[in-house]
Copies of this chain bind each other. A is one copy, B any other.
Amino acid sequence: MSNLELTVLEPETVPCCAPLTSAELSVEDSVRMAAMFKALGDPVRLRLFSKVASHPGGEACVCDIQDVGVSQPTVSHHLKKLREAGLLTSERRGTWVYYKVAPSVVAGMSALLDLTR
């Protein structure tokens, strides 16, 4: 599975969803989007996400961000959740694994919550 790369979750610009004010979410869309919000619904995960997003160069290796008050396996677990939700992508380079934000996915979440449109 892992040798197929991450093409499945790849951008495609994630058209998802008109802003919430304009129309009610379909069942499928609510399942998809809820999974993303859920991924940010843990303080440790949100902090990890924040550390990646704010890191110079837009990416960070695990060693750069793992100081969040939980054990290393737990950090790895949370990063996996963020990856599975499509919010982060990861890439191994030598000894280190680098994580970066998936901008279009996050933009979709932000747009959904933009009630002014």
Contact = CB atoms under 8 A, between A and B. Distances in A.
Interface string A7-43: 0000000000000111111010011011101111111
Q: How large is the interface on A (under 10, 10 to 19, 20 to 34, 35 or more residues)?
A: 35 or more
Contact of A34 (B31, B41, B115): B41
Contacts of A30: 43-44, 46-47, 50
Contacts of A49: 20
Contacts of A111: 110
Contacts of A115: 53, 101, 103, 106-107, 110
A43 B34 contact: yes
A113 interface: yes
